[in-house]
Each structure stands twice: as structure tokens, then as C-alpha cells.
Structure 1
Amino acid sequence: MVCSWLDYKLRLGSFFMDQALLLSEDFNFTLVNFRPVKFKIKNFKKIYKIEKDIHENKITLLYIYYPVFKLFKNNYFLKLIERKAFRILNNYLKKNNISVDLLHAQSIYDAAFWTLSYHEEYKIPFLITEHNQFTLKKVNRQKIKKLDAIFSKSKFNLVVSDDLIRQFANNHFFGEFVNVGNTVDETLFNHKNKTQSDYFEILTVGAYTPVKDQITTLKALKVIDNLNNQKIKFTWIGINAWGTDFQEEVNELISSFDFKNIQIEIVKIASKTEIVSALQKADVFVFTSICETFGVSPLEALFVGVPVVTTQCGGINEFMNDRNGVVVPVKDFNAVAENVIKIINKELQFDSELISKEAIDKFGSNAFKEKMIPLYKQALEQ
């Protein structure tokens, strides 16, 4: 797997690692992330070096550092940099008796471009999965020209939601796409250990960023705070999940709402085990993103049997229905508040076991294997 983003310590790209682990009984995986470093004296020791991590003592992760030059972007020179990075990678693979039969690019920017170059150099078949928002904004002409080659030479063009197919169409790419969705580890995220809190527990998970639009969540909480005097707790997990410290900014934002009746807990970053613990006592999961390609966090909530109140942000269409929660318009904080209050007052009730079962049946490990294993085998046979 060539991954557009990957960091074991920061848990970036954790679902790439989990998917590789899930499929490791049938295939041997090495995950690769090509990392640019500025061509400066202080970086010389890193350039063209490989760092290694191991996930769950089974999956090897390789970070390959290559130099970038701010002003010098000659195509021939860039090709030399690519080939040098590939030689470093291949020497490592050869030394460790790893042969490559198939490449899987996880997202187009920039994994698919590295994968296309590797394919052209060594004739190894590849497929791609797009996870991220797809746009041509700020993409240089050289890469735009390569996109047609990526789509045409890939054995399969996979997406995690139908919404991504629409995003490709908006950018004038109308090829064949296979929707494989995403997956969550049901051995960790499940309904077995649900607990009861002294509070009505509202939970959200996500990095603090405009596209996640947590301000709409806070506006909804303010409406609830003004209308309700029950013991309510709101927990926001992962404000720093994308690597930037937003603690001070988030604290100031929350203070500006002057909540009277709602207890607030902010968690900068959390492990999956810690997220599961929070979900097991949650009464509702609130998700007010503007635009998603899938929405792993609300799906994790469903796996644990927690009903979800979410905005119509795109990717959630893969798993939301009237048995597991409510979908409201983007930025409509009044609709978010109204439905959370209905759940507080038991005007809206959901079957937690049914929520969990339906989510796991559709997106659990068995379902994901049934989608991916035939695709890998077909790609290898063609």
C-alpha cells in the first residue's frame, strides 16, 4: 500500500493499517509513505532514508524521505528524485525478501502519483482507493495530465462512497468506480460493554477544523443549554488529531458560549480504546461536518450502538437510516438541538443492539473482506 498520509505515532492513516491487518491472512502487506523534506543542511541526514514502524507486530510501515526544492521543478530532475527514492525502497525490499506483486494507492494526492511512476518504472499492476475530498484546486498541470493515466491504467478505481463519484464527475472524470466503503474493527467497537452515566452524554470525535464545523455543534448545545436543566455532559475528542495544538483556541471558543448547565470535556487526542470507552457511555453522537467522503467517526458510534445526529455532509449516506439516527441540513444547529432534545426526552428512541448489528453486518470485517479480496485477486490475475 502506498499511503497519502501515514504516521503510526500520531495514528494518521490508522484505517490503512487496520485494513492491511484485516486482510493479512490472505495477502502480505508493506505500507509505504513518501515524505518530502526541504533541501536544507539540517535535513541532510534524513534525505533518502527509510524509517520503519510495525503495526500490531504484523504490518511493516516504511517512511521514505525525499528532497524537495522550492524553486526548481524541472520534470527530468523530479524524475531522478523519484527513481532514487524507488531504488532506496527496492533495496530495502530486496534485503528483507519482499517481492511486490500489486500496488494499492490509498488516495490520489499524492499516493497515486507515486504509484503510477512506480508502475511505469517496474510494470507492477496497481489499483487506487480514494478516501479524501477530490478537487483540482491548487493541483499543478503536470499532475492533472497524469490523472487520466492513473484512472486508465489502474486495475480498479475504488471509492469509499457514492459522494466521491459525484465529486469526480464535478471535475469531469466519468470512469467506472467501485464503491467499497470503509470498515471499523468490531472486536473493539461493539455493543457488548455499554454503560450508564450519571449524565446524559453527548459525544463528538474530530479534529478542530472549519470543514468539520464544530461551531454548529456548540451552537446546538447552547440552544439545549438554554432550554434544558438536566445533567448533560458534552465530550469532544480529538481536537488535535491532525497534529496541530488547538487547545487554547478551542477553550476560548467554548468560553464564548458561556454554558450554564452543560459540563464540557475536551480531549486533545485519544487512542481507539479511549474512544470506545467514551462511546460505551454515550447517549448520542453529534456530527456537524460540512463535507465528508465517508465519516468513520459516526460509523464507529453506530458499531457501539450509539444513535447519531448528523448533518447531511455526503459520506454518511452510506450508513445512516431512520433506525440509527437523524440527518439534518448542514449548519442547521436548531435541527441538531431539536433532535438531541427529543432523544433526551425519549420522544425519539433507538434500539442500540439493532444499530450495532446493522452497522457491523454492512461494514464489519467480513463484509470488507468480501469486497476487497476478490478485487485484489482479479487485479493480480489480469
Structure 2
Amino acid sequence: MTKLIVFSNMYPSDQHPTYGIFVKNQVQLLRDEGMDVSVIAIEDPSKGKIAKLQKYMSLFIRGFFSLLKNRKTLNLTHAHYVFPTGMLSYWGKRWFNIPYVVTVHGGDIDQMPKKSKMARKWTERILKKADAVITVGEKLKQDVVREFGVSINKVHVISMGVDQTVFYVMPQELSRESLRLSKEETMLLYVGNVIRAKGIEDLIEAYKQIAYTKEKLSLYIVGSQKDAQFATLVKDRIETLERVHLIGPQPQTTLAKWMSAADVFVLPSHHEGFGLVALEAMAVGVPVVGTNVGGLPHLLKDDAGILVEPHNPSSLAEGIEQALNRSEERYTEVKQRIVEEHSYPVLAEKLKTIYQYVGRS
């Protein structure tokens, strides 16, 4: 039986059920495959320097003692996000000769290395010393190889995948009825963290540009309001708009209903490692409009969705109008093929192959 520790700076809790849910889903997938998986993770999304310092000190202390206790029986460790979380796997290899895999999610190489020379140095060190590097998108793979000098032979593209037992095509009318939404409204939906980098302000501006063209056009912004200051700004922006609603985080089963209820799903991110939430929307069948950043061009290729320019409300408005005006089946063959490529059984086989190759016996 493969025994490993998963380190992550995001993991859900009862108080924050969607915080890093994709990591928890992958852990459960590994356990379902018969692996012995322990988790050392941060479950609190609160911001601030003191809170962050306390969270990471706790993570590193718990991680160190777990490595020490299990040093003789672990096959490998798997870190989600490179720096600073990946330092635990790095030191586990240095101290106890435990191989490790690290998954790159996007911001950990797009943003974190730019914060300081130390962050850049550690990011490169962790990536180069890893026995295997997983990126959730093709562009991230290119960035890891080109910008950090990692051998292309040990970089693998594996998304976090879509749970098809949760995200699947369901009747739109029934979903709206379940959520107590009007059957007459034309509904735009965003799901994700309510932060500036997700392009929420662009989305609100795009909505204002087209609201008068569609009768009963509504916008629902669903997600965690981790940044209180920005969330307040968003509330101020939508205060005078009748059909714009800010909804808190929801369980995944409820999110699937929200997606099914929508006429168009919009992901206006300024940067995006892969765009997992867009994949989940595709699995439900709703038309997707996304910005031309990160992994979204690859995910929405072959007319699987509509790409627009980031930081550009007018382009976003045009993409939304295009999605609303064209008639299409909610679940096309192209969408089905892409969803199957990222299904849990496919991803489980890829992960098992990597673990067997790099893990010690």
C-alpha cells in the first residue's frame, strides 16, 4: 500500500467548506484507490500578516513532526502549491530521503516568486529538487520549464479533475425551482472567490453594459468573500443594481444546481492556472465565457466556450451577449470529450503511475 503525506495551504473545514475543496477531493480519490494518505494543511482562509504567520508556523511544526514520526514508512510526500508549502516536502527529502511530488496551481509561480528574491529562490529550488512536478494546465508546464529551468521530462499536466457524481447535466427548471429562482429571468453566474484578481469588477461593468438589452437579465456572484475590503467595494458597486446578487460560499452539490440554473457561466479572471470551476460548469452543460488567460484557452478550445480579453469589460460584455444569442445544446460532444479527459478515473491512473515511479519502496 502506498503511504504518503499531502501538504497543502488550502483545505476545507466545517467553517469553510469550499476552501481548497479540490485538494480534499483528490485526497479522497487517492484513498478510494487504496492509498494511506495523511493530510497536513491550513484550513483557515483568514488574511493578515499575523494570521498568516501563525498558520504557516502551525503547518510547519505539524508537518515536521509528521515527517519525523513516519520517516521510515512513507513512500513519498505530495505538496500542493510550491512555496512555502513545498518547503515541507523539500526538507523531508533533505532530512529523511523521502521523495516528493509538488503540484503547481498557478499563483504559486505567477505571483509568489515576484514577491521577493527569497520566494523566487525557494520556488526554483523546490521545483528542481522535486522528483516529479505536476501542473494543472499546459501553460503552467511551459512556464515551469522555461522560467525555472525544470527538466521537461519530470513535468506532468494533470488537472484537479471534475467529480461527475456531483457535476452533471440536470434540468434547468428543476434547479431553479430547488434554488427558488425565477424561471423567467436570464441568468449570468460567477462562482469563485470574491477577490480583485478574479475580474469581478470587470464582470459588474460588463453586466451594466448589456443589462438594458435583455429583459430580466440577472447576475449572481457566488463565492467566499475572503477579502473583506474588496467584498465591501463589490457590495457598494452593486447596491444600485436591481438584479445583481452577492451569495456566500455553497457546498459543491448546491454549486452544481446554481450552474445548472444559469444561462451563461462567466469566469472573468485576470490570471487562472487551469480554471477548474469552468470545467465543472462545462460538465453541467452551461455555456462558458472565460478570459484568454492561463489554462482557459486550452480548456475552452474547439468552441467548447467563448474566450474574451482580460481586464476588458467591453470584450466580456460582447462574449456574454454572444453566448446568450447563440443556440446550442447545453452538453455538446466537445464538452463531453473534455470533461472525460479530466474525469477522476483518468486522473487516478495518472497519479498512481507517477507515485509508483518516484516513490520509494
Q: 1:166 to 1:105 in 2, by over 3 A?
A: same
Say yes or no: does 1:164 pair with 2:111. Answer: no
- 1:111 equivalent in structure 2: 85
Deviations 1:71-101 (A, max 9, x none): xxxxxxxxxxx6x65563257769xxx9422
- 1:253 equivalent in structure 2: 237
**TM-score, with normalisation over the residues of structure 1?**
0.77
**Residue 303 of structure 1 is aligned with which of 283, 296, 299?**
283
Q: 1:245 to 1:89 in 2, by over 3 A?
A: farther
Gaps of 5+ in 2: 1-5, 45-50, 177-182
**Residue 14 of structure 1 is aligned with which of 12, 17, 21?**
21
Q: Give the Cα–Cα distance (whole angstroms) in 2 for the partners of residues 304 and 263 of structure 1.
A: 24
Q: Give the Cα–Cα distance (whole angstroms) in 2 for the partners of residues 316 and 6 of structure 1.
A: 24
Q: Give the Cα–Cα distance (whole angstroms) in 1 for the partners of residues 105 and 13 of structure 2.
A: 18
- 1:39 equivalent in structure 2: none
- 1:379 equivalent in structure 2: 358
Deviations 1:234-272 (A, max 9, x none): 1110141x36475533221113xx44xx61221022221
Offset at 1:328? 1.1
Say yes or no: does 1:5 pair with 2:10. Answer: yes
Equivalences, count = 333
CA contact (8 A) 1:64 1:89 kept: no
SS of the equivalent of 2:85 reads helix
Say yes or no: does 1:238 pair with 2:223. Answer: yes
Q: 1:174 to 1:376 in 2, by over 3 A?
A: closer
CA contact (8 A) 2:306 2:323 kept: no
- 2:268 equivalent in structure 1: 288
Q: 1:321 to 1:90 in 2, by over 3 A?
A: closer
Letter in 2 for 1:335: S
Gaps of 5+ in 1: 37-42, 48-62, 68-81
Larger Rg: 1
The share of aligned pairs that are identical, in percent, is 20
Say yes or no: does 1:89 pair with 2:69. Answer: no
Letter in 2 for 1:254: I
- 2:115 equivalent in structure 1: 138
**Residue 324 of structure 2 is aligned with which of 344, 349, 365?**
344
Say yes or no: does 1:26 pair with 2:34. Answer: yes
Structure with the higher fraction of residues in helix conformation: 2
- 1:361 equivalent in structure 2: 340
Q: Give the Cα–Cα distance (whole angstroms) in 2 for the partners of residues 35 and 234 of structure 1.
A: 30
Offset at 1:34? 6.6
Q: Give the Cα–Cα distance (whole angstroms) in 2 for the partners of residues 35 and 193 of structure 1.
A: 34
RMSD: 3.1
Offset at 1:32? 0.9
Offset at 1:377? 1.2
Comparing 8-17 and 168-177, the one that deviates more: 168-177
Offset at 1:169? 5.2
**TM-score, with normalisation over the residues of structure 2?**
0.82
Q: 1:216 to 1:148 in 2, by over 3 A?
A: closer
Q: 1:206 to 1:88 in 2, by over 3 A?
A: same
Letter in 2 for 1:362: E
Q: Give the Cα–Cα distance (whole angstroms) in 2 for the partners of residues 86 and 245 of structure 1.
A: 32
Deviations 1:298-342 (A, max 9, x none): 111111001111111222123103433210111232232223223
